[in-house]
Structure formats: C-alpha cells, structure tokens
C-alpha cells in the first residue's frame, strides 16, 4: 500500500494505478495515504484551526517547528501531531518535515491556512487520477472585504496564466515526484516558487477545493502595500537576487 516510483526511459504508458510521464518518472498510487507537513514559528493563533480542518484522512500530521516561543508545540502535541525541530526558515522546515514523512504522499501546508470542506475528496480524486502530478488548492482569504476578492482573482490569474501557485494554497505531491525534481531546497524565502518552477506547468493540477488563508498580514499592512511587496519580491527573485537578501525585505 504505497506509491512506487522508478525512472523509465523512452516509454509513455498509463493505467488505473499509475503512469509514466513525459519526464520518465513513474509513480504508482495504490491508496490515499498522506503525511501533512506544516512549518511553524509562533503559530499558536492559527494552528488549532488549521489542524481541525484536516479531519481524519491524513495518516499523520508533522509540525516542523523553527523555534517557537509561544504554545505552538504544545498545541501540536495536544492534537497528536509529530513534532520535529528544524533550522528556522520555511524551506528548511518543510524539507525536514518532508524527510520525516512516512506516507507516499505529502501535503505541504502553511500554519495559517485551513482546508475547506471537500478537500479530502478532491485530494483522493487527484491521487487516483494524477499520481505523477502535484495538486494545489483554490486560494481564498478569510476576509469579507472586496480587496480580498480582488486578490483572489489575481491569484487565480497567476495560477492559470503563469502556473505559479504559492505555498498558502497547499501542495499535494507524491514523495517519488518530489524526489525526482530534487526535493525541497532549504531556502529562507521563495521555496514554494522554486519548487513549482521545477515541477513546471505540465505537472501542476488545480484541485476543486479551497485553501482558506488568514488575511491578517494583509489587513495589518494593507492589501495594496502587501501585494506590491510580494510582486516586488517575486520580480527580484526572477532577476536572480539571493533568497537570503529577499528574506530581509519580507
């Protein structure tokens, strides 16, 4: 009961269990076994809602903590999560959590992102139909403001046209596919963009369920200012500015 993978050359074939993709990676999915990986740093305010939204589908939830000084670790333990301690930085924490994952599929999820009802069914359908592809959820903010709706439409455009879902949309990916593209790099920022760029458009699928992310930072800093800063950081990253320098601007 696992996802098996192997490199296959000069073959393209499909079945009801798996497929060889154009990159020569074969992932065979036999169940819906998931390890959820959540990087945290002083996330006590949001973590209970995120964990409660997961329901019973995941085999395990791994909280990869970067040195929280609040009740984050205690909350994770109270929910029955596995806690791993990792060097601070979302990329490093995700990499550590992914390495600890025992299930054949991983769901990379931010601590302030709750999955909406129906996510488990959408994930199950994806794993059965697209074992060689990663899935991401539809972006939604927990804010009734019109500015939130405008940002959601902008994110939908970015995903559709640029094939750039961000980490706050979650990423469902088979362990074998993650290994085939080089894993999660220990970057302090832009680790999500780095990973989806290596996956490429052909190996990304939009899931028919929502990931509801906290709008706390947008409300605190202003939607226009926050969005403009994110666009600037993305542009600088594409221009080759090192992530360690971008992290100072974040």
Tens digit of each residue's pLDDT (9 = 90 or more) over 25-72: 556 554 579 999 999 999 999 999 999 999 988 999 999 999 999 999
**Per-residue pLDDT, 250:** 77
Q: Along the chain (250 residues), what's the average pLDDT of each consecutive run of 10 residues?
A: 37 45 57 90 98 94 98 98 97 98 98 97 96 97 97 98 97 98 95 97 98 96 94 94 86
pLDDT of residue 14: 43
The per-residue pLDDT for 249 is 80
The count of other CB atoms within 10 Å of the CB of residue 33 is 18
**CATH superfamily to which 3-222 belongs:** Spore Coat Polysaccharide Biosynthesis Protein SpsA; Chain A (3.90.550.10)
Indicate the domain borders of the chain: 3-222
* Cβ–Cβ < 8 Å for 116, 53: yes
Kindly tell me the sign of the dihedral angle through the C-alpha atoms of 243, 248, 249, 250: positive
pLDDT at 31: 57
Q: How far apart are CA 228 and CA 98, in angstroms?
A: 31
């Amino acid at each position: 009961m696992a996802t098996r993978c192997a490199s296959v050359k000069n073959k393209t074939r499909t079945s009801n269990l798996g497929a060889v993709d154009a990159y020569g990676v074969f992932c065979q999915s036999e169940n819906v076994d998931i390890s959820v990986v959540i990087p945290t740093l002083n996330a006590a305010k949001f973590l209970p809602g995120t964990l409660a939204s997961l329901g019973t589908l995941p085999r395990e939830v791994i909280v990869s903590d970067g040195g929280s000084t609040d009740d984050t670790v205690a909350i994770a333990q109270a929910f029955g999560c596995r806690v791993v301690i990792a060097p601070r930085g979302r990329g490093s924490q995700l990499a550590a959590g992914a390495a600890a994952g025992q299930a054949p599929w991983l769901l990379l999820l931010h601590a302030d992102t709750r999955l909406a009802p129906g996510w488990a069914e959408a994930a199950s359908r994806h794993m059965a139909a697209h074992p060689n592809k990663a899935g991401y959820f539809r972006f939604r903010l927990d804010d009734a403001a019109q500015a939130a709706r405008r940002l959601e439409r902008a994110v939908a455009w970015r995903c559709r046209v640029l094939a750039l879902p961000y980490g706050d949309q979650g990423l469902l990916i088979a362990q074998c596919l993650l290994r085939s593209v080089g894993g999660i790099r220990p970057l302090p920022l832009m680790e999500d963009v780095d990973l989806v760029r290596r996956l490429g458009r052909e190996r990304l699928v939009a899931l028919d369920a929502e990931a509801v992310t906290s709008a706390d930072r947008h409300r605190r800093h202003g939607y226009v200012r926050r969005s403009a800063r994110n666009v600037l950081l993305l542009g600088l990253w594409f221009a080759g500015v090192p992530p360690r320098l971008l992290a100072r601007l974040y």
